[in-house]
Amino acid sequence: MPYLIDGHNLIPKIPHLSLESLDDEIELVVMLQEFCQRRQKQIEVFFDNAPAGQPRARNYGNVIAHFIAPPRTADQAIHNKLIRLGATARNWIIVSSDHSVQGYARAARASVISSETFAQQLMDALKDKSTESKMRTEPSLSEKELEEWMLLFNDENSNDKSDSYD
């Protein structure tokens, strides 16, 4: 199921992200891209207070970021998207802890999860990916292999030392 995300509602729920940061939206988008790759998902994220002249929507692979200019809000844009989706809204997951956004989603029969819950899922997905990548780049040795390497290096080091002192 694809996601519709209330971006500025999610940012404060994610460790190391802050609404005070100038790059908070792009930092979230980068994290969402990783999530989409890992979980094979599609996401549309909505942000309030887009600066004048900024494109309304940007495509970042499996993440589409919508920047909503005043006087409209991200909440209104999510509501409008749900209306446009019609009966297919039930195939979407709405991420927000805002009660009005959750109300729109429930009225459209979409699934709802809180920003806190999704933030945990996002962090788990990113943690899984970093663990998986470490496992690929840092293969572990068996006890026997480790002993063989230690013997090999200790022998080489002792030979080097004796050669260098002659």
Buried b (16+ CB within 10 A) or exposed e, 106-132: eebebebbbbeebbeebbebeeeeeee
Q: Domains, the chain, ranges and CATH?
A: 3-136 (3.40.50)
Task: Note the pLDDT of residue 55.
Answer: 74
User: What pLDDT, on the 0 to 100 scale, is given for residue 152?
Assistant: 56
Residues 25/51, Cβ–Cβ less than 8 Å: no
Beta 57-60 vs 111-113: how paired, if at all?
A: unpaired
Residue 155 has a pLDDT of: 52
The two structure tokens encoding residue 7: 């971006």
**77, 68 contact by CB (below 8 A):** yes
Question: 24-39 and 115-137 are packed helices; what angle lies between their axes, rounded to 10 degrees?
Answer: 70
Please tell me which residue, 22 or 14, carries the higher pLDDT value.
14
Summarize the confidence of residues 16-41 as an average pLDDT: 93
Which pLDDT score is estimated for 33? Answer: 96
Task: For residue range 48-102, list pLDDT tens digits in order.
Answer: 988 777 778 999 999 999 999 999 999 999 999 999 999 999 999 999 999 999 9
> What pLDDT is recorded for position 156?
46
Indicate the SS3 state at residue 68: coil
Tell me what pLDDT residue 78 has: 97
E strands present in the chain: 3-6, 43-47, 57-60, 63-67, 93-95, 111-113
Average pLDDT over residues 135-159: 55
For the residues 16-35, what does the mean pLDDT come to?
93
Comparing CA positions, the residue from 140, 151, 121 lying closest to residue 32 is 121
